[in-house]
Structure formats: C-alpha cells, structure tokens
Structure 1
Amino acid sequence: RFGYVTPSLYIPFWNVNIPMSEPLYFLFCSFAVVSTVNAVNLTDGVDGLASGTSIPVCVFFGAVTFLWGEQYTTLGIFASALAGGLLGFLLYNYNPAKVFMGDTGSLFLGGAIVGMALMTNMPLIILVLGFLFVLEALSDVIQVAYFKLSHGKRVFKMAPFHHHLELGGWSGKKWSEKQLFALFTGISVLCAVISFVGIYNRYGF
C-alpha cells in the first residue's frame, strides 16, 4: 500500500493538520511537485551531490513508513529500494564520476521525493528534510532576480549555491567536489534526523 492523500496540510513539529479545499490543495501540491523536481535537478551539478543528499531523504521516508504500519508498507519498500539503488549508483557517481545521473535521473529523483512526501500527506516536511534542495533553488532565483534588478550585479559568484562555494564563495575559500559532497551529505543527514524529531508524535510513535 502506498499511503493516502487527503486535502489537509500537516505542519511538522506542531503536529497540526490544517484542512484545505481540494482545488487549493491541488494547486499547492502542483507547486510542490514543480519546485521540488527542479530543485533536485539543480543540485545535480557536482559528482555524487544529488545522490548523496537524496539517500538520507529516502532513508527517512523508508523508516517512518515502516513505523507507521501496513498502510504504508509498499511506500516503505519503494523508499528503501530507492535508497539502496542510490547507494549502489553512488559508487560510480562519486568523484571522479564514471557514471552521471543526468537530467532524466535527477528529475525522476525529485519526482520520487515529492511523491513520497505527498503520499505520506506531509509535503511541508520538504522544507526541513530537503533544506539543501530549497537552498539550491532559492539561490538560483535570488541570483537571477538580483541580476535583473541591479542591472548586472550578483549575490553569488555562481548559482546554484554549490557552485558559489566551488568558486570560493564570499570568503575566498574554494571547496573541492569531494568537500562539497561531504558537507552537503552531512547536512542532509542532520536534516533527516531533525525531520524525524519533527514528526515524532505523529500516529503515536
């Protein structure tokens, strides 16, 4: 079983469900799908980065769906299989990469992540669980908007954010691809732990 979707917005950490009309919830979910898919795609700019940051996300969904019981069993299997597949892929995608994910892989991955969030009826968890994806997308939006409004000036050396760090950031310290992988994967693990704490009281566990 893949779970269920109801037109209500679950607020992590507060354990509150806010009812929404079906049309409004549909629009919200559509925005969540488009933004998450593109955010994950933007993250795939350094060897192993999209894979490394997505594995903790999949492990999170696998863990909570198994704990929630039979209604989410199939979704838990899917999340666990995706985490395992990404781990195997990472062996060849880690710097120096022998195999690349490409747009097809990263767009699928983004779709899978937002799909799991919707099927567990908590799309807002992506703001915490997928913090790095949000950061990558926001940095790109901010860069483009500021460039146009300031007639050619930039906030970041290059967007999305991982390229900004790669080029030295504001401090001038350049990050290697392996350092970026370690940093982003570590932050993703931390975000997964924080997210688990945020939904700990949901469904009685």
Structure 2
Amino acid sequence: MLEQVILFTMAVAFLISVLLSPIFIPFLRRLKFGQSIREEGPKSHQKKSGTPTMGGIMILLSIIVTTLVMTNKYLEPTFKTYLLLLVTVGFGLLGFLDDFIKVVLKRNLGLTSKQKFLGQVLIAIIFYLVAKQNEFSTAVSIPGTDYSFDLGWFYVVFLIIWLVGFSNAVNLTDGLDGLVSGTGAVAFGAFAVLAWNYSQFDVAIFSVGVVGAVLGFLVFNAHPAKVFMGDTGSLALGGAIATIAVLMKLEILLILIGGIFVIETLSVIIQVISFKATGKRVFKMSPLHHHYELSGWSEWRVVVTFWAVGLLFAMLGIYVEVWI
C-alpha cells in the first residue's frame, strides 16, 4: 500500500508542476519577470536574457500541496512534516524577495549578502527551536560507522552552517538549463530511498514530492529553458535537502549525496582564494559548470555529465549508509 502511495505522490507532484507551467510561464512573461544575465558570464548566455524566472513558485506550490494532501490522507502529519515545509517555504520566500528585487526593481544582485545571510540564519534558528521542543537529538553520526558524537548547544551553529551552506550551494549550481532540476531530483530521490528504508514515511512522502515537482519543472526547464527557477526555487531546494538530512540524522552523508553541490561551491571558494592570493584563476570561470562551458563543452553536455556524476554520488551515498 505504502509503495503505491509513494509512487502516487511523485506522480501527483509531477502533474501539478506540468499543469501549472503553461499557466505561470505566460503570466511571468506578461509581468516582464525576465532573467537579467550578468555581463561577466559566458557570452552564450546573453541570448537567455528575458527568459521568465521565479519559476520556483511552481515547484513550491507543487511541493506544498502534494505534501499536505498526501500526508493528511495516508499518514498523520508529524513535526518533521511541518519543519520540512517551514524551511522550504521560508527559504523560498527569501529567494522570492531576492528575485523580485532583481527582476522588478532591476537591481541585478538582488538582496545584499548580509540581508540574505540574516534571513537564512533566522530560519535555521527557528528550525532549531522547534526541533528542540520535540526532543530532537543533537548527535551527529559518521556515515558507514556506528560512531556518533553529541554537539550539545553547538548543534545550533552546525545547523546554521548546514542550512545556509547547502541552500547557497544549490543556488550556486543553478546556472545552466536543467542542471539543478536534474541533480536535485537525483539527490532527493536518494534521500527518499533512505527515508523509506528507515520507515520515515513522512520524510519519504516529502522527498518524492520534491522529486516529482522538479521533474515536472524540468519539462520546461531543460535546454533550451522556457523558464528558470530563480533563487525562489534554488534556495528552497537547498534548504529542503539540508533539512531532510538533518531530520534523518544523516547530516554528514549529505556531503556525499549532494556531492555536485559541494564541488560547485568548492570551485568558487578555490577560485576566490587563488585569485586573491596569487592573482591567478584556477578555473576559466566558476562555478565549475562554467569552466567546462568555456572549455568548449555544449551546455547540454555539461548538464548531462553533472546529472550522471550526481547519480553516482547518490548511489554511493545509499551504499555507504545501507550496506557498509
């Protein structure tokens, strides 16, 4: 029965995204919510200027509706259900504000880094306070071992680092058509498998709801994209996957399952440190996906390759957690 519920949840989320897109995309275009392309980016991206953005709204609506309907119908909602929605919507609203400033107020950088960081930290602290009220463990486990260590009060700092770090990591990865949609579907799918394996069906339903939502969005976001998710989508997805990992006590495993997001972030950090220290760049451009573009790879080749690598990371993560 529950297997059918999981598959049905994914199908419902997929259909909601697919059905919303033909309505939202023309609406966003009429409102002139078009993406502004940064001049320092790859020249081939200039033709994408004006493509409707803030499509993450469709992903969020699909996730919210699917999670609430399916959880209330087949399970009893738990504090994990509400925490997942709280963080996802919270980060999504933060991303929406960032997108709104960019496309409506025509300030290409959106929120300042301090404003965005403060918003992310506030959401993380609220998450911690709610979790603490539900006697949530502050221990962190080492994947593939029986070893764990309790962070105590320091867990709130760890939680802030994880939520802020991974929301920004997914945001950095969102630079090519379909890149985050595909890698996100794979990563959330891996956590859905693990949630099912550990009988955390509330988390499993949310996870497959996200998979269905982003795959439905991918129908219109694949190259050449008809719509971008914007920070509305990427920040929400980053916050959501970090929350899943935390609630399942698989925090460290997220580094492996979300390996693509980690590598993309590291490429930016390495580039900045190298340029400031030596005046030289390690990559032709960061994040890493732009390096491959400027090396002569087609956008589609970069995206498919990253999808494949993301799948390998996800499979390895499941193997480490379940079989080692």
Cα distance between partner residues in 2 of 1:60 and 1:136: 19
What stretches of structure 2 of length at least 5 have no aligned partner? Answer: 1-77, 82-130
Larger relative helix fraction? 2
The 4+ residue runs of structure 1 with deviation greater than 3 A are none
TM value normalised by structure 1: 0.90
Which of 188, 203, 207 is the aligned partner of 1:58? 188
Write the distance in 2 (CA, Å) between the matches of 1:122 and 1:64: 10
Match of 2:248 in 1: 120
Shift of 1:127: 1.3
Q: Is the 8 A contact 1:40 1:133 kept in 2?
A: yes
Shift of 1:54: 0.7
1:100-144 per-residue CA deviation (whole Å, 9 max, x = no partner) reads 010111000100110100010111111110111010001101111
Structure having the higher Rg: 2
Match of 2:298 in 1: 176
1:165 and 2:292 correspond: yes
Tell me the residue number matched to 1:21.
151
Q: Tell whether 2:239 aligns with 1:108.
A: no
Cα deviation, 1:34-64, whole Å, max 9, x if unaligned, reads: 1111110000000000111111111111111
- Asked if residue 6 in structure 1 is aligned to residue 137 in structure 2, the reply is yes
Q: Could you tell me the TM-score, scaled by structure 2's length?
A: 0.57
Give yes or no for contact 1:8–1:17 (8 Å, CA) kept in 2. no
* 1:201 shift after superposition: 5.0
Instruction: Tell me, yes or no, if the aligned pair for 2:264 and 2:288 is still in contact at 8 Å.
Output: yes
Q: Which runs of 5+ in 1 are unaligned?
A: 169-173
Question: Does the alignment pair 1:130 with 2:220?
Answer: no
Distance in 2, Cα, partners of 1:180 & 1:22: 42
Q: Name the aligned partner's letter for residue 170 of structure 2.
A: V
What is the Cα-based RMSD across aligned positions, in Å?
1.5
In structure 2, what is the equivalent of residue 171 of structure 1? none
- Conserved 8 A contact 2:191-2:244: yes
Deviation at 1:19, TM superposition (A): 2.2
- Identical amino acids, percent of aligned pairs: 39
User: What residue in structure 1 maps to residue 206 of structure 2?
Assistant: 78
Residue aligned with 2:260, SS? helix
C-alpha distance in structure 1 between counterparts of 2:173 and 2:236, whole Å: 13
1:147 match: 275
Query: Greater relative contact order (Cα 8 A, min sep 6): structure 1 or 2?
Result: 1
SS at match of 2:148: strand
Tell me the residue number matched to 2:42: none
Which AA in structure 2 matches 1:43?
T
